[in-house]
A and B are shown apart, each in its own frame.
Chain A
Amino acid sequence: MPGTSTDIKKQICPFLAPRIRKIIASLPVDLLAKTEEIRLRHSRPLIIYWAGGESYLGEDGPVAVPGEAYLLTEDDLKKTIELISNYSLYAFEDEIRQGYLTIPGGHRVGLAGRTVQEKGSIKIMRDINSCNIRIARQVKGAGERVFPFLLDRRQGRVFHTLIISPPQGGKTTLLRDLARIISNGIGLLGQRGQKVGIVDERSEIAGCFRGVPQLDIGLRTDVLDACPKAEGIMLMLRSLSPQVIITDEIGRHEDALAVEDAVHAGITVIASAHGSSLEDVLARPILRKLLDKNYFERLVFLSNKRGPGTLEMIIEGERGLPLYSANTGGEL
């Protein structure tokens, strides 16, 4: 398990209102080490989520029923929001419009409240009543098993790859670790480090805080933080000369066009998409178009069957040949 209890105590607790801080800090170490999310909802119980389960928290630790749990007050939420935004909601308007803030350490705080609209889009979020602190966990080595399948040893390049998994399946963790591996290079495989560009629209891959990556993404990696994917990919192409572009959750028409441009420019693209199977992906017109044109040379399927990041299958894009399958117990 990558995160430790001290991470949460040091990195998350200073951003919580005093009462919640006390409750979280007094939790058993093993529970803290596996905590993935802390959910704060107005007038409702304090809940933490961990791989495969959840716990209601009372003032003296985990409790069995929601009725005994600590109910969050307006003051708790208000103070937490103030601490998370560093007392400066005005400085994070764009992030709040997107529904999240990132705090040092790369942890993401999702927000829900009353939205104010202007010209059909969200202008600002007010009266925030719900807050989800997602603990960023860097799993160094998550990509080591996958990487040999993505390496074109003859040409010394990385294949264009699409990573497919359901939510919380470990897509972002894998992307981050692949960025680190490709950027640093792996001596054993004779692979030297390559220049990597991450277009991190939701600040999830590199976990940037004020533009500075908080997670290890490698020596030769540049990050465009909070940048729309399509624009970011074009910007990378123009000015940062990456050899590999990494981005998450492609799905819009303009994303597909930007991916096409990058592929034609001879730059490796590694991207991710939501889905559980090839059928899911093919059902989405934009992704189907990209797959029909055989842009992606490798498709990696993940699931959370045996915990997040379970490698299910790797197939070769063009001919649809499976290279790895968890069902048959490994390499084919």
Chain B
Amino acid sequence: MYLKLLGATLIILAAYLMGCQVCYLYRQRVRQLEEILLALEMFRAEVNYGLTPLPQAFQNIGIKLKKPVGTLFLNFSSILNQRQGLSALECWKSSLEKGREEFSLRVEQMELLARLGTAWGQGDRRGQERQIALIQELLRQALQRANEEWQKNDKLWKYLGCLGGITIVLFLL
């Protein structure tokens, strides 16, 4: 009997943790979008006040941010510095490809991130600023949606996990 009770508790706990894992994914998505937005804000400051060249700007930004956003920018900076003759877009794509697994973003959010590649280093200061501002706006909308999704799904998945566990236990009994 005690053994059964222990088993049932373990099943419910495991199912609850699975629910938490899904919630964690939503939370990570929000955190990563926030980090990207922060990075873009930092980049705008580097462009406007420091006129820092792109590779140096991303080196400065990358070390201040957490994984995986920080790593993405550090990789981008190091590929740019290698001067293999690639365009900024190609360098961005390659660093994004390298870090894709680490991100918990949705496909359309990753596409937004990929679109940033067309903006890096293009045009004069004002042009650069405008391109970044446009993508920042789209990312803000994505962040808002991600936040809503997280709020909505956080409790839902935890309950679902718990209830799923209980259902399995009832079936087994």
Contact = CB atoms under 8 A, between A and B. Distances in A.
Contacts of B52: 88, 91
A89 B126 CA distance: 11
B7 interface: no
Contacts, number: 57
Nearest to A210: B53
Nearest to B88: A87
Contacts of B91: 87
Contacts of B55: 86-87
A77 B94 CA distance: 21
Given A16-B85, A82-B88, A87 B123 contact: no
Interface string A69-87: 0000000001100110111
Interface residues of A, number: 21
A307 B16 CA distance: 84
Contacts of A93: 124-125
A88 to B, nearest CB: 4
B121 A88 contact: yes
Contact of A87 (B53, B84, B124): B53
A115 to B, nearest CB: 12
19 contacts: A15-B83, A18-B84, A79-B85, A82-B87, A82-B121, A83-B85, A87-B54, A87-B88, A88-B54, A89-B121, A89-B123, A89-B124, A89-B128, A90-B121, A90-B124, A90-B125, A91-B47, A91-B53, A96-B124
Interface of B: 47, 51-55, 57, 80, 83-88, 91, 120-125, 127-128
Given A78-B87, A126-B123, 4 more contacts: A18-B84, A87-B121, A89-B124, A90-B47
